[in-house]
Amino acid sequence: MSGNLSENFDRSEFACHDNCGFDTVDVELIQVLEDLRHHFNSPVHVDDGCRCPAHNASVGGEPHSQHMLGRAADIRVEGVEPNQVQEYMMETYPNEYGVGRYDTFTHVDTRTSGPARWDLRSSK
């Protein structure tokens, strides 16, 4: 591995998908993801972490996305539904962070501007 960030996370998991080299991750984000890992006693998979502006635009990210600051990750907790992850985050960190629920993953960020919550599941 290219360098461990914590007990369960490696820098390579957060690297920008366009191979630009951006892989600087906020320490607080790693702590929150470790908390999720230990709470659910299950691996946390990072689907999308750091994004350079070009990659952010290519995936339709928000213009001021926390991903571009290394403060966000789109994650899946193995064997745990996104709604359970969202509920835990909102109960444990009611006045902090960004938490977005999607069909197959949860967005978690360590924004400093106060809490943000959203639910973007598709209607079925």
Question: 33: which residues sit within 8 A by CB, 6+ positions away?
Answer: 6, 8, 9, 44, 46, 73, 75, 108
Number of folded domains that form the chain: 1
Query: Is position 25 within any domain?
Result: yes
| Amino acid occupying residue 64 | H
Q: What is the CATH number of the domain that holds 63?
A: 3.30.1380.10
Residue 55 has pLDDT above 60, yes or no: yes
pLDDT one-digit tens code per residue, 62-108 = 999 999 999 999 999 999 999 999 999 999 999 999 999 999 999 99
Q: Residue 18 belongs to what domain range?
A: 11-119
- Domain contains 38: yes
Residue 19 lies in a domain: yes
Residue 12 is predicted with a pLDDT of 95
Contacts of 21 (CB under 8 A, 6+ apart): 15
Q: Are 73 and 33 in contact (CB under 8 A)?
A: yes
